[in-house]
Amino acid sequence: MFAAYAARIDPDQPLDGLVLGERPAPVDRPGWTTVTVRAASLNHHDLWSLRGVGLGAEALPMILGCDAAGIDQDGNEVVLHSVIGEKGYGVGTKERRSILTEKYQGTFAEQVTVPEWNVLRKPKELSFAEAACLPTAWLTAYRMLFTNAGVRPGDSVLVQGAGGGVATAAIVLGRAAGLRVYATSRDEAKRKRAVELGAVEAYESGARLPERVDAVIETVGAATWSHSVKSLKPGGTLVISGATSGSNPPSAELTRIFFLELKVVGSTMGSKDELEDLLAFCAATGVRPVIDEVLPLDRAREGFERMVSGELFGKIVLTNS
């Protein structure tokens, strides 16, 4: 079957290890099911895999892709929960877990096999492309906002790095849930788009906000960390799920954190129940993932190049005809 896969690890030139070509079809195994992929979406996780983060050379070749929507063996339209847990659960501090493409072959292929537990029915209101955007970036944003930040309608939230998949999702979901959402970006066009999606206002990275916020959604890391901490009101919560600009900020702001009794919460993906809630939320409210571009799988390299350049707003989706 045709697939986009990592054949080599290259921390400096990750796309040098990306190959488009034939790979073996999934093999049947007890308790697992094979899904014919109709749409799959790119995540920064796929780039990190090509750099060797979470993916060792001993696991190569590895089909990339965490997210997918497609048709199961019974003809049902389904969405995949991407986190594979050893005990059948995909999130939580007591569960050893891995995401597709770390130990198990991913979704940038004609077919993928996952545990039966990881398959959910796709709401009829969502297209395959829309549904394929939800299980990683959008689920991560959902858990960050509503589980780990614990915000409620009327609260204020700062979303750092507008344009990225998680950040875009947080803006749209936050607005739909009645939050006052502020966003930042170095790019003027992305700031304008963030406001169009529901942010009250969008600012240059590091700019002073009109108010301190109840929570910050942080995926950028080192470049925005100090600003995130300084933007919180006393007792506020900073939720972090990524560090695309680096994991060692020049200042950890520890004095401010303990003096103002701020909370710093790590967040990784989300549970199957949260994904079900997210799917139902989108179906009921009309909220839809922001899709930057849809490409056929055989043009996957173009999508990866867009992600490397940062010249995108929302998700890139790969489809099988």
- Please, is 188 exposed, middle or buried when counting C-beta atoms within 10 Å of its C-beta (0-12, 13-18, 19+)? exposed
Give me the pLDDT at residue 96, please.
62
Q: Spell out the residues 6+ positions from residue 266 whose beta carbon is closer than 8 angstroms to its own.
A: 239, 240, 241
- Mean pLDDT lowest among 81-85, 116-120, 230-234, 276-280: 81-85
Q: Please tell me the distance from the alpha carbon of residue 220 to that of residue 26, in angstroms, as a whole number.
A: 35
For the chain, what is the mean pLDDT? Answer: 93
Render pLDDT for 203-259 as a digit per residue (tens, 0 to 9). Answer: 999 999 999 999 999 999 999 999 999 999 999 999 999 888 888 998 999 999 999
Measured over the CA atoms of residue 211, residue 217, residue 219 and residue 221, the dihedral's sign is: positive
What share of the chain in percent tops pLDDT 90?
Answer: 85
Render pLDDT for 56-70 as a digit per residue (tens, 0 to 9). Answer: 999 999 999 999 999
Q: Please tell me the distance from the alpha carbon of residue 40 to that of residue 87, in angstroms, as a whole number.
A: 26
- For the segment 16-25, the average pLDDT, to the nearest whole number, is 97
3-state secondary structure (DSSP) of residue 26: coil
Q: Please tell me the distance from the alpha carbon of residue 272 to that of residue 277, in angstroms, as a whole number.
A: 9
Global confidence as pTM = 0.91
- For the segment 187-193, the average pLDDT, to the nearest whole number, is 94
Give me the pLDDT at residue 95, please.
53
- For the segment 117-137, the average pLDDT, to the nearest whole number, is 96
- For the segment 30-43, the average pLDDT, to the nearest whole number, is 95
Domains of the chain: residue spans and CATH? 2-133+289-319 (3.90.180.10), 137-266 (3.40.50.720)
